[in-house]
Amino acid sequence: MAHSYSSSAILTTTIKFCLLFSLLLGMVSAQLSPTFYATSCPNALSTINSAVNSAVSSEKRMGASLLRLHFHDCFVNASGTNWTVQLGRRDSTTASLSAANSNIPAPTLNLSGLLSAFSNKGFTAKELVALSGSHTIGQARCTVFRTRIYNETNIDSSFATSLKSNCPSTGGDNNLAPLDLTSPTSFDNAYFKNLISNKGLLHSDQQLFNGGSTDSQVNAYSSNSASFLTDFANAMVKMGNLSPLTGTSGQIRTNCRKAN
């Protein structure tokens, strides 16, 4: 994955400074708050916003990468639109490969598996569909969607053919394809329109519109972009509140890649 290192460096440095300063002041909280750094680091949000915008401008995949990071973090350790981010979440002191494998919904899941995975975290079917709409941006590797384009029948034939040119039956595992072929760098409701046309890239994507209980919600979002954006933002806030580590629980990592 390509990165804008200058923007990432600014973002990382700012976050480290603000979090450490906050810790030194003893500002521990029992819950998340959108104003968590208002006193300890009042310029935090504007600086982070500027750095993220710069990073996304330099590398369009960055927006999808950040969404994926948030999703994976919240599901394991439990832009296109805007919402008020709840701040003050601490880092975990442990990491678990087995927890990641068992908690993160796999792209091979059928609808029943997706509904169960999200229900286990307290999400409704409607919220599952809304959050899946994040696939309106980002890309996936050939190895993740190869089985679908060569073996499944609920896929538009011309769509499958176009993908096969970049994803051969053998080899090319890391070749990429956009999750939303229509507008891959725009956060919109095209993802749902694609599903109705049997142009979902992942098996799990098309399961949301395959004669099951979520078909009606996909139809609703495909015709009402505003409804999708509102529901997506609300679901993201809810996901951010999945059993967060706050106050003296967890830690503020000096290196995001590993526990202190």
Q: Provide the phi-psi class of 122: left if phi over 0, else alpha when psi is between -120 and 50, else beta.
A: left
User: Do residues 241 and 33 touch, judged by C-beta distance below 8 A?
Assistant: no
Q: What is the residue type of 185?
A: T
Q: Provide the phi-psi class of 138: left if phi over 0, else alpha when psi is between -120 and 50, else beta.
A: left
Element (H or E) spanning 177, and its range?
A: strand 176-178
Catalytic residue, chosen from 3, 70, 72, 203, is 72
The CB density around residue 245, as the number of other CB atoms within 10 Å, is 16
| Residue 72 a catalytic site member | yes
Helices (H) and strands (E) in the chain, counts: 12, 2
Catalytic residues: 72
